[in-house]
Structure 1
Amino acid sequence: MPHARHRSSLPGTLLLACASLCFTAVHAQTPTIALPASAATSNAAPALDARAPSPPTIPASQAGTLALDQQVRWLSRAARSGLLASMPDAELVTLFESLDPLTLPHYLRQGPNGYASYEFTLVRRERIRGVWPNRPDHMLVRLTRDPLRIYAKWLPDGAHAGQELIYDDSKRPDQIYGHLGGVLGVVPMWASLHGPLARAQSNHSVRDLGVEYITRQFLAEGQKFADAGVTRPSRIEVKTIEGERVVAFTYETPIGQPEFYAKKEILGLDLHRPYFRSAESFDNDGNIFESIVFQEIVPKTFDDLTFDPHNPDYRF
């Protein structure tokens, strides 16, 4: 039941920077669905919610015996209380193997899958024109959902360091503003949201940026996987990726591309909140063509200056 996304690496013209930002979007043919109303409204920190409930009274070893709706409630409480994060790797694997295959998508669907306003860092790579980049992008992103506004900066320890990008749906919904960074690259310009420059590094739209999108695509592809006879992940394991501990679910389709976004997807579930922190996509030959890991995810409130190119902290 995976999500979808696609491609990265930089030629040398401005809004290639913009394209580099457009990473968590879906293949053009992948259907989209509306997220629940609560999907981006939480203001609680991912792992430090002062209102966190007590752990569920039913032990993890018995969670798989519950009815589906009870399993979903159990999983939500176990995550928010910190129980999942405290469990050893082997117990986490046993737990998720015991749950109904519909528990995970129902848990994700009830949300919240993200935040109304938040800041995050991420590490990402995409295969562009057959080339897998030697160095990943490391990015800082500030985002609000209503209206959709985005500021992104490529950090010094990653590829394309110094690039910046701003998108504001309330002002120019079809335009992106950005620059390449570096000594000669700080020449900001506007470019079309869906134009050739914005697609030079990715098949994705900047509008799909954020943790919500991976979850949305996972849910959208769910019925296709069920129709293909894939109702359970082929593998469940616990991984630490870029310092983040996740439960990783591997889904592999019998058909592969182009009917599905990827032949194989590995999705890393956050242990505190109902969203995926990591995603890897593989083509029909088993080659990885996309990887993304969300690192720090922090709910924050931003003022208008955050999405203004005249912000003195920016280099537009």
Structure 2
Amino acid sequence: MHRARRRRQNRKLIRPSAWVSSLLAALALSAIAVPASAQEAVSRAAATIALPTSTATSAAGPALSAGATSTPPKTPAALVGKLPLDSQVRWLSRAARSGMLANMSDAALVSLFKSLDPLALPRYLKDGPNGYPSYEFTMLRRERIHGQWPDQADHMLVRVTRDPLRVYAKWLPDGAHAGQEILYDETARPDEMYGHLGGLLKVIALWTSLNGALARSQSRHSVRDLGTEYITQQFLAEGKKFADAGVMRAEDIEVKTIDGARVVAFTYETPSGQPEFYAKKEVLGLDLRRPYFRTAESFDNDGNIFESIVFQTIVPKTFDDTTFSPVNPAYNF
């Protein structure tokens, strides 16, 4: 009873009055609102690449635990390209889980992925799981908003559970928008998130629409898109359009180390670009131990980068209800 009463009192305190709401709305719309054309692009993208809550992902905790390993495959990497498609996919899965991929040289990795059936990578990713049922990660994120590419990346700490979907995110001190915090719980308010802007405005925490001007002021994406699953599912959703456009293989395959993450980077470029596709060119970095992308770079029709994401650390964890509560004393709501 005491906790319930306290929550009701907190909500009364943090629910802004009409004039505060009007002021914030005016500020959001005049200074940080996403242009209508971008909003339309977001709507189209969301309709195409909405992130599913995968039962396969939710059920895969033991198989995807940090210590999960398997015996390395017996077939040498140089011969994998001669195997049937199903065998190639199984080989990739075992090689990744056993650490074999991570231990291969750059040249051997490039040679391996160039030799595979063009459907092997999509199948490997589709079989997943593309994330953890419950996990914490740090990420670096940049997006071009209002035509401006930020000088400094957002450095974020994010905690996520997938069934049900609940998210806590904090912008860390060494990145842009330091001090911001948001909470989302689809079981409580599926169309709203709770948060503050950081700095002096952290004293004003409020509920706001997932698709409102304030929520979209720094990103094309919803809080529901945070996580490794989103990039992978976006790639799979665009796969048929790539095939229809005659793009069966990556234009380039190389090994990169991006902000400490060693990945196999696949460059895909489409003939038509936007708006038919999410981007004219995508550079996607495959994790060497798990079936998801660790990095993503997206370029528009003029060759300008408009989005960059790097997952620095990804750790499976379990959380209690306080992790997604605004009254958690560790948070600044």
Structure 2 match to 1:39: 57
Q: In the alignment, is residue 281 of structure 1 matched against residue 310 of structure 2?
A: no
Q: Which secondary structure does the structure 2 equivalent of 1:250 belong to? A: strand
Q: In the alignment, is residue 108 of structure 1 matched against residue 117 of structure 2?
A: no
Q: Which secondary structure does the structure 1 equivalent of 2:187 belong to? A: coil
Distance in 2 (alpha carbons) for counterparts of 1:206 and 1:163: 13
> Which residue type is aligned with residue 268 of structure 2?
Y
Native 8 Å contact 1:27 1:203 kept in 2: no
Deviation of the 1:178 alpha carbon? 0.3
Distance in 1 (alpha carbons) for counterparts of 2:59 and 2:116: 27
Native 8 Å contact 1:252 1:265 kept in 2: yes
Q: Which secondary structure does the structure 1 equivalent of 2:319 belong to? A: coil
Aligned identity (percent) is: 68
Deviation of the 1:32 alpha carbon? 4.3
Deviation of the 1:181 alpha carbon? 1.6
> Which residue type is aligned with residue 109 of structure 2?
L
Q: In the alignment, is residue 220 of structure 1 matched against residue 237 of structure 2?
A: yes
Structure 2 match to 1:136: 153
Structure 1 100/210 Cα, relative in aligned 2: closer, same or farther at 3 Å?
A: same
Structure 1 match to 2:178: 161
Native 8 Å contact 2:65 2:316 kept in 1: no
Distance in 1 (alpha carbons) for counterparts of 2:294 and 2:114: 20
Q: Which secondary structure does the structure 2 equivalent of 1:200 belong to? A: coil
Distance in 1 (alpha carbons) for counterparts of 2:272 and 2:242: 10
Point out the structure with the larger helix share.
2
Structure 1 45/290 Cα, relative in aligned 2: closer, same or farther at 3 Å?
A: farther
Structure 1 119/31 Cα, relative in aligned 2: closer, same or farther at 3 Å?
A: closer
Q: In the alignment, is residue 311 of structure 1 matched against residue 328 of structure 2?
A: yes
Structure 1 25/208 Cα, relative in aligned 2: closer, same or farther at 3 Å?
A: farther
Native 8 Å contact 2:66 2:315 kept in 1: no
Deviation of the 1:36 alpha carbon? 5.2
Q: In the alignment, is residue 231 of structure 1 matched against residue 264 of structure 2?
A: no
Distance in 1 (alpha carbons) for counterparts of 2:320 and 2:119: 40
Native 8 Å contact 1:41 1:114 kept in 2: no
Distance in 1 (alpha carbons) for counterparts of 2:243 and 2:227: 26
Native 8 Å contact 2:51 2:225 kept in 1: no
Structure 2 match to 1:57: 74
Structure 2 match to 1:4: none
Deviation of the 1:145 alpha carbon? 0.8
Structure 1 46/134 Cα, relative in aligned 2: closer, same or farther at 3 Å?
A: farther
Which among 107, 111, 120 is matched to residue 94 of structure 1? 111
Structure 1 157/241 Cα, relative in aligned 2: closer, same or farther at 3 Å?
A: same
Which among 142, 150, 154 is matched to residue 125 of structure 1? 142
Structure 1 match to 2:262: 245
Structure 1 runs, 4 residues or longer, greater than 6 Å off: none
Distance in 1 (alpha carbons) for counterparts of 2:53 and 2:254: 27
Unaligned segments of structure 1, at least 5 residues: 1-10
Instruction: State which structure, 1 or 2, has the greater radius of gyration over its C-alpha atoms.
Output: 2
Structure 1 237/216 Cα, relative in aligned 2: closer, same or farther at 3 Å?
A: same
Distance in 2 (alpha carbons) for counterparts of 1:25 and 1:65: 42
Distance in 1 (alpha carbons) for counterparts of 2:188 and 2:52: 23
Q: Which secondary structure does the structure 2 equivalent of 1:42 belong to? A: coil
Native 8 Å contact 2:51 2:230 kept in 1: no
Unaligned segments of structure 2, at least 5 residues: 1-25, 35-41
Distance in 1 (alpha carbons) for counterparts of 2:27 and 2:263: 36
Q: In the alignment, is residue 301 of structure 1 matched against residue 318 of structure 2?
A: yes
Q: Which secondary structure does the structure 1 equivalent of 2:101 belong to? A: helix
Deviation of the 1:40 alpha carbon? 3.7
Deviation of the 1:186 alpha carbon? 2.8
Distance in 2 (alpha carbons) for counterparts of 1:62 and 1:289: 38
Deviation of the 1:174 alpha carbon? 1.1
Deviation of the 1:87 alpha carbon? 0.3
Native 8 Å contact 1:25 1:204 kept in 2: no
User: RCO higher in 1 or 2 (8 Å CA, sep ≥ 6)?
Assistant: 1
Distance in 2 (alpha carbons) for counterparts of 1:203 and 1:239: 26
* TM-score with structure 2 setting the length: 0.85
> Which residue type is aligned with residue 126 of structure 2?
R
What does the per-residue CA deviation read over 1:33-54, in whole Å, with 9 as the maximum and x for residues that have no partner? 75753124433597842x4111
Distance in 1 (alpha carbons) for counterparts of 2:129 and 2:44: 20
- The correspondence of residues 173-184 of structure 1 with structure 2, limited to 5 A, is 173-184=190-201
Structure 1 185/226 Cα, relative in aligned 2: closer, same or farther at 3 Å?
A: same
Q: C-alpha root-mean-square deviation of aligned residues, in Å? A: 2.3
Native 8 Å contact 1:32 1:220 kept in 2: no
* TM-score with structure 1 setting the length: 0.89
